[in-house]
Amino acid sequence: AACGVAQVAGRSGGAGDAVLDGRTGLVIDRPGDLVVVTEALARLLDDAELRARLGEAARERAVASFDYTELAARLGACLGVTAS
């Protein structure tokens, strides 16, 4: 995501939470189904505008939500610690 690349993620584990379907990538319901995976990848390969839009949104989200300062603030909030 941070590299500005649209992603295809399965709706299992944490990947489906990290990728926002239709906004930062494509989330598929059956990640073990080769046909479903192939169709999602083909959709990105065939649609340059979609690929660019999702990739840019993925990068923006990664930069805004997952940089070290943001992650440290979130961890601090969970632990009840404030930065000084």
Can you give the residue ranges of every domain in the chain? 7-78
Contacts of 57 (CB under 8 A, 6+ apart): 20, 23, 24
pLDDT (0 to 100) of residue 83:
60
Whether 44 and 50 have beta carbons less than 8 Å apart is answered as yes
Q: What is the architecture of the domain spanning 7-78?
A: 3-Layer(aba) Sandwich (3.40)
Per residue in 13-52, pLDDT (tens digit) is 888 778 999 999 999 999 999 999 999 999 999 999 999 9
Contacts 24+ apart (CB under 8 A), 43-51: 44/6, 44/8, 50/6, 51/6
Q: CA-CA-CA-CA torsion for 48, 26, 64, 79, nearest 10 degrees?
A: -170
